[in-house]
Structure 1
Amino acid sequence: MDYERSDPAGNRPIAPTAVKVLIAGGFGVGKTTLVGSVSETRPLRTEELLTEVGVAVDDVSGVEEKTTTTVAMDFGRITISEDLVLYLFGTPGQERFLFVWDELAMGALGAVVLADTRRLADCFPSIDYFEQRGTPFIVAVNCFDGARQYALGEVQLALNLDPDVPVVLCDARQRKSGKEVLVKLLEHARDHSRRSAAVG
């Protein structure tokens, strides 16, 4: 089987640990792009064309070039190490699809909330959702061409984040950048688990 290795005694193969991670954020922020850029398998996408009917529903200001939208989820897989595989679930960005989130979030280790500084308020539904569930998350600012750059501290302040929530820069189009974001999430989830254990 793929990704199997033998235990130290040389007995049966040991499968790597599989971890579920969510990629969330507002409409047009780059979730599908991030999943596609880091996935080592062909990603599953559930995108549909934007139509005239959706003009009154989907606000495309700032992302006027966007022609499709995720209506269920994106799915991809990346091997972080020989004993750790991440399964990535990209959530739909519009609020009318929030009913899908509870199913996608079940059993997730943590989440990446992608942010676009041109539409920063679009992050709040995702941030509120993970804060209410107690799900560890980080914010990754997707550096769009031509978008104004802000200091990470400014973004953290604008989003009213807990000081423990990491904010990082990324380019969702670049595999290396996306992988660094995922590693940062894993580190944060580990630290979150240790803090919770110490309190409990």
Structure 2
Amino acid sequence: MENSQLDAIAVIRKSGHEPITECGRPVGKSLLDFWQWSTSDLVGNAMRGVLAEYLVAVAVKGDSGTRTEWDAYDVKTASGVRVEVKSGAYLQTWAQTKLSTIQFNISPSFGWDSKTEKLGTTQVRQADVYVFCILAHKDKSTVDPLNLDQWEFYVLPTEVLNQQLGKQKSIGLRNLLRLHPSCARHHELSDAINVAAHGHH
């Protein structure tokens, strides 16, 4: 077997109309049916995290391709700023006795180098900028993760995390705010990320 058969797969954006087939014939279900079944819960931790990445990608016009699950960072801006996206929420899909505590994973990691196709040898925070996305709405009857007004976005240069927290693995909202991140609405995110990366507009 040639190694080229095991090269990375180029992921092509799907429309949702692609049929699920058996013996070359559609079985009456499409990719859209699968998406509706698997990813309709946008409040749950897994999909909310992916949605947060998408919202940041949209803000920096980096949403034209597809998400790469194993990348060392989540989003790249047009000017090359590498962005790590973290999400939190007060509400969960399941029954709660109280609002959730907002906590973010900020662990340094061994980044994947796509050129060498190997993991890096030192644990570092791979991105230039962190964006902490909070679904801040607190009423389950009206929560809507597709409503950008229900989100808060906090932007922080990675070097601040490195200087202030070292190799600390997680941070709560109160301690995050003590680091004075910039707070941005969705339409302000692109500018805030550039300022965090370069120190100017």
* Higher RCO by CA contacts (8 Å cutoff, separation 6 or greater): 1
TM-score by length of 1: 0.34
Would you tell me which structure has more helix in proportion to its own residues? 1
Task: Give the number of the structure whose alpha-carbon radius of gyration is greater.
Answer: 2
